[in-house]
Amino acid sequence: MSNERILGIHHMTAITNDAQANVDFYTGTLGLRLTKLTVNFDDPSAYHLYYGDGVATPGSGLTFFPYQGRQGKLGPGQVIATGLAIPADSMGWWVDRFASEGVDFDNPFSRGDEEVLPFRAHDNLPLELVASAAYTPGAPFEGGPVPIERSISRMHSVTIAENYSDATLKLVTETLGFEPVKDEGQRIRLQAANKGPGAYLDLVIDPAMPFGHGGFGTVHHIAWATEDEDTQKTWHETIQTQGYNISPIMNRDYFKSIYFREPGGVLFEIATMGPGMLLDEDEASLGTSLRLPQMYEPIRARIEASMPKLRLPSGVTVPVELAESK
Ligand code: ZN
């Protein structure tokens, strides 16, 4: 291994079936900020919705592609839970909130020194609130419906299911530099360089788990954070040298990305920390209008005409309709 490091989780991206329900759930029920409204850079007929903390810190980011199609089914080679970090004394508050908001949740339970509240989003995406003493406050969104002292600070962990873990473990420890934290046989926790909540990868190993399939309500990929474009180039070489089929370096405007599939089947991305979500909007206006990459600006009118209307947390509906008189 050279000296580049995977810092922790950069973001996770999932497929959802309903953009409006998605905005309402993540900004309303969970109190995250809509930090960017853009299109799928590889398919501008679909939105790409970003949520995060108040300043869109990498590691707080949940992103979604709304697509119709079939409901996904969980299985090996998929992310079976995405953990979100909440303050240690907040579990009761969140249980009450989920009950009053009609969220589909299970009773909280202890896993080691953490309390876990499993729940499903509007599209059945499996999520967990995780409370632990290791919680550190992030940069909460003060304009949301959740009080700051209860707010989700960042992603806590991603949990991947595998029938067999040897090849995945070899990749993440020997190549990507994750350290084992806990090994309970069927459940292994690893952490990236930043350590602690936000840097956890949990592997659940179950040789008998039946295959699932992609679709809405499942995670499309997990992005891991690397410092900058130089370290990303090194990662690209390292991973390619090991025989993985890795994408070219892709410019996502807010970060640069490379993609490859880990041996168990989960799509991994390695994304740069910068330039970040403040590239084209200031902090106050994050997520308040449809942003397009330069390549799609010439066809903005066509894209906007084809997009379903979305009511944003501000009450504004996008795309903004042109005045009739023009
Ligand atoms: Zn991504």
pLDDT tens figures, 162-195: 999 999 999 999 999 999 999 999 999 999 999 9
Going from the Cα of 254 to the center of ligand 1, the distance in angstroms, rounded, reads 11
Range of weakest confidence among 75-79, 114-118, 135-139, 242-246: 135-139
Q: How far is the CA of 93 from the centre of ligand 1 (A)?
A: 31
**Ligand 1 center from residue 10 Cα (angstroms):** 8
DSSP at 216: B
Over residues 206-264, the pLDDT tens digits come to: 999 999 999 999 999 999 999 999 999 999 999 999 999 999 999 999 999 999 999 99
- For residue 178, report the distance from its CA to the centre of ligand 1, in Å: 20
Contact by Cβ (8 Å): 281, 288: yes
CA distance 313 to 292: 20
Question: Could you confirm whether domain 8-283 is CATH 3.30.479.30?
Answer: no
Other Cβ atoms less than 10 A from the Cβ of 136: the count is 11
Tokens 């410092």 found at = 227
CA–centroid distance, 88 to ligand 1, in Å, is 29
Q: How far does the centroid of ligand 1 lie from the alpha carbon of residue 135, in Å?
A: 25
The pTM is what?
0.96
pLDDT in the model for residue 3: 63
Q: How far is the CA of 172 from the centre of ligand 1 (A)?
A: 18
Tell me how far the alpha carbon of residue 62 lies from the centroid of ligand 1, in angstroms: 9
Q: 204: closest CA among 231, 185, 219?
A: 185
11 Cα: distance to centroid of ligand 1 (angstroms): 6
- What gap in Å lies between CA 269 and CA 241, rounded to an integer? 17
Give the Å distance between the CA of 42 and the centre of ligand 1. Answer: 12
- Answer yes or no: is pLDDT of 281 > 60: yes
| pLDDT score at 232 | 98
Distance 223 CA to ligand 1 centre (A): 5
| 4 touches 236 (CB < 8 A) | no
**Any idea what DSSP says for residue 279?**
G
Distance from Cα 323 to the centre of ligand 1, integer Å: 35
